[in-house]
Amino acid sequence: MKLLRMMCAGALILLASPLAAQDKPQVPRASAGTIVDLGVLKSKYADPRRVVVWLPNGYRARGPKYAVLYMHDGQNLFDKATAGYGMEWQIDETLDRLIRDKKVRPSIVVGIWNTPKRLQEYVPSKAFRYLPSAYREKVRALYGGDPLSDGYLKFIVRELRPMIDRRFNVKADRSDTVIMGSSMGSLVSLYAIDEYPDIFGGAGMMSTHWPLFMTPDGKSVGDAEYAIVSSAFERYLAPALPDPATHKLYFDHGSETLDAIYARYQDRVDAVVARRGYRKGVNWLSLSFPGQKHNETSWASRVDVPLRFLLPTEAVPRAH
């Protein structure tokens, strides 16, 4: 029990957002483009949370429509003042530059704030079910209860997305709808494209926190746990991954701090992705960035890579 409490404390410090939406309610300021605050949105399926929409410079309410990128941990995307750790992704500066340079197609970003239930909302419910009962209890103890990701995704798909489609000049087709996150946000992004393949055509997973658990010193909890968690994700993903003819997947990780333990987990997942028929460099990337850490500064330094892959000037091919 003492070891479990230590693991829980260390993991919560490293993974839980220290300052959720209710603690830092101010709206971010964009360095490029414009932020539209949708306020704190209530939901039938999940806890209330703030949502903002970033519009690139030159956005027009009429005329050619824009692709949509949905991103988790929205308070960390645009402004250090609202970011939980005082570091931001610089999504506004990077995406505005890429659009201006015609490296990605014109897009808007929907930034979805996390809540104090972030861990529960981001862990994939159906993958969780493949864990042995004893391990599920460990995850429940760490995360504060059962997964809430199904409700969180229903909020995005059934309530938020129709609002975005009505209010903004955006394309509603799958090939122009992408979802992306980091760490636990990567897990729920992959879960989203698996569970809603008719909605999302691409998913970006940066520094995916496959282990679910870790020790206070940031190391994996052991080979037995590695085998347990990897097997659970393999069993879920094998039948759940979407059609590679119409979808794109991006994975990456660094080599420092928490990212140092991800490579062998990612190798197991990559094998499942390859068996599904995905082709590296075509509809799938899985990259390693030596020296990169598990934080927003590192993600900001390389976020142009998934943006260019998932939102190229040519859309994801549609099924015939």
pLDDT band at 17 (very low <50, low <70, confident <90, very high): low
For the stretch 78-114, pLDDT in tens is 999 998 878 899 999 999 999 999 999 999 999 999 9
The structure tokens 């039938």 sit at 44
Answer whether residue 320 shows pLDDT above 90.
no
- Nearest CA-CA partner of 236 in 178, 276, 281: 276
**Are residues 85 and 73 in contact, defined by beta-carbon separation less than 8 angstroms?**
no
Q: Which of 53-62, 77-86, 200-209 has the lowest mean pLDDT?
A: 77-86
Integer Cα distance of 178 and 106 in angstroms: 13
- String of DSSP letters for 146-164: S--HHHHHHIIIIIIHHHH
Predicted model pTM: 0.91
Q: Which of 152-156, 177-181, 252-256, 311-315 has the lowest mean pLDDT?
A: 311-315
Token readout for 145 is 């209860």
pLDDT band at 21 (very low <50, low <70, confident <90, very high): very low
What's the pLDDT at 6? 39
The better pLDDT of the pair 15, 290 is held by 290
Q: Quick one: DSSP state of residue 26? A: P
For the stretch 119-132, pLDDT in tens is 999 999 999 999 99
* 194 C-beta neighbours (distance < 10 Å), count: 20
Find which of 99-103, 138-142, 221-225 is predicted with most confidence, using mean pLDDT.
99-103
The better pLDDT of the pair 284, 87 is held by 284
